[in-house]
Amino acid sequence: MDQRSSRAIRRDSTTARAGRPVESDARLRQKNRLTLPGAIVRVLGAAPGDVIVFEADPAEPGTAHLHLLPRSFAGSLQGVYGTSEEAMEYLRGERASWDE
Protein backbone atom coordinates (compact mmCIF):
# COMPACT_ATOMS: atom_id res chain seq x y z
CA MET A 1 0.00 0.00 0.00
CA ASP A 2 1.47 3.35 -0.98
CA GLN A 3 1.58 6.36 1.32
CA ARG A 4 -1.30 8.13 -0.43
CA SER A 5 -3.63 5.14 -0.01
CA SER A 6 -2.70 4.84 3.65
CA ARG A 7 -3.42 8.53 4.21
CA ALA A 8 -6.81 8.26 2.48
CA ILE A 9 -7.84 5.35 4.69
CA ARG A 10 -6.72 7.14 7.84
CA ARG A 11 -8.69 10.30 6.98
CA ASP A 12 -11.78 8.38 5.90
CA SER A 13 -11.87 6.45 9.14
CA THR A 14 -12.27 9.62 11.21
CA THR A 15 -15.70 10.67 12.33
CA ALA A 16 -17.05 14.20 12.14
CA ARG A 17 -16.34 16.14 15.29
CA ALA A 18 -18.47 19.08 16.29
CA GLY A 19 -17.84 21.93 13.88
CA ARG A 20 -14.77 20.34 12.28
CA PRO A 21 -14.56 19.78 8.53
CA VAL A 22 -14.24 16.22 7.27
CA GLU A 23 -11.78 15.62 4.46
CA SER A 24 -11.46 12.47 2.42
CA ASP A 25 -10.39 11.60 -1.08
CA ALA A 26 -11.54 9.26 -3.81
CA ARG A 27 -10.04 8.10 -7.08
CA LEU A 28 -11.84 8.83 -10.36
CA ARG A 29 -12.11 5.59 -12.33
CA GLN A 30 -12.89 4.77 -15.93
CA LYS A 31 -16.10 6.18 -17.35
CA ASN A 32 -15.94 8.98 -14.73
CA ARG A 33 -17.04 6.67 -11.94
CA LEU A 34 -16.51 7.92 -8.43
CA THR A 35 -17.39 6.35 -5.09
CA LEU A 36 -18.08 8.84 -2.33
CA PRO A 37 -16.07 8.01 0.79
CA GLY A 38 -18.14 6.78 3.73
CA ALA A 39 -17.11 9.72 5.93
CA ILE A 40 -18.48 12.19 3.38
CA VAL A 41 -21.72 10.21 2.94
CA ARG A 42 -22.25 10.19 6.71
CA VAL A 43 -21.61 13.94 7.08
CA LEU A 44 -24.00 14.70 4.19
CA GLY A 45 -26.61 12.35 5.62
CA ALA A 46 -26.91 10.84 2.14
CA ALA A 47 -28.67 7.58 1.34
CA PRO A 48 -28.98 5.43 -1.78
CA GLY A 49 -31.15 7.17 -4.36
CA ASP A 50 -30.35 10.69 -3.13
CA VAL A 51 -29.32 13.32 -5.66
CA ILE A 52 -25.97 15.03 -5.14
CA VAL A 53 -25.26 18.19 -7.11
CA PHE A 54 -21.68 18.95 -8.16
CA GLU A 55 -20.77 22.57 -8.89
CA ALA A 56 -17.49 23.64 -10.46
CA ASP A 57 -16.52 27.22 -11.26
CA PRO A 58 -13.91 27.81 -14.00
CA ALA A 59 -12.63 30.69 -11.85
CA GLU A 60 -11.56 28.08 -9.27
CA PRO A 61 -9.73 25.43 -11.34
CA GLY A 62 -9.38 22.07 -9.64
CA THR A 63 -12.15 22.82 -7.14
CA ALA A 64 -15.70 21.49 -7.01
CA HIS A 65 -18.39 21.72 -4.37
CA LEU A 66 -21.09 19.15 -3.81
CA HIS A 67 -24.46 19.52 -2.18
CA LEU A 68 -27.09 17.01 -1.17
CA LEU A 69 -30.33 17.95 -2.86
CA PRO A 70 -33.15 17.82 -0.28
CA ARG A 71 -35.28 14.74 -0.94
CA SER A 72 -38.41 16.83 -1.19
CA PHE A 73 -36.85 18.91 -4.00
CA ALA A 74 -35.39 16.13 -6.14
CA GLY A 75 -37.12 16.22 -9.51
CA SER A 76 -40.03 18.30 -8.26
CA LEU A 77 -39.59 21.06 -10.85
CA GLN A 78 -38.10 19.04 -13.68
CA GLY A 79 -38.93 20.68 -17.00
CA VAL A 80 -40.59 23.76 -15.47
CA TYR A 81 -37.77 26.05 -16.63
CA GLY A 82 -36.97 24.19 -19.85
CA THR A 83 -34.23 21.66 -20.31
CA SER A 84 -31.40 21.25 -17.81
CA GLU A 85 -29.02 23.01 -20.20
CA GLU A 86 -31.42 25.96 -20.63
CA ALA A 87 -31.75 26.30 -16.87
CA MET A 88 -27.96 26.14 -16.39
CA GLU A 89 -27.44 28.78 -19.11
CA TYR A 90 -29.89 31.06 -17.31
CA LEU A 91 -28.07 30.52 -13.99
CA ARG A 92 -24.69 31.23 -15.61
CA GLY A 93 -26.08 34.53 -16.96
CA GLU A 94 -27.44 35.47 -13.56
CA ARG A 95 -24.16 34.69 -11.83
CA ALA A 96 -22.19 36.63 -14.45
CA SER A 97 -24.37 39.68 -13.79
CA TRP A 98 -23.30 39.65 -10.13
CA ASP A 99 -19.76 40.58 -11.17
CA GLU A 100 -20.87 43.58 -13.22
**What is the rounded (10 degree) CA torsion for 23, 55, 27, 51?**
90
Most distant CA pair in the chain, distance:
50
The predicted pLDDT at position 37 comes to 93
pLDDT in tens, 13-39: 445 556 788 888 899 999 999 999 999
pLDDT band at 10 (very low <50, low <70, confident <90, very high): very low
- The answer to whether the beta carbons of residues 44 and 54 sit under 8 Å apart is no
Tens digits of residue pLDDT in 27-81: 999 999 999 999 999 999 999 988 898 999 999 999 998 888 877 765 666 766 6
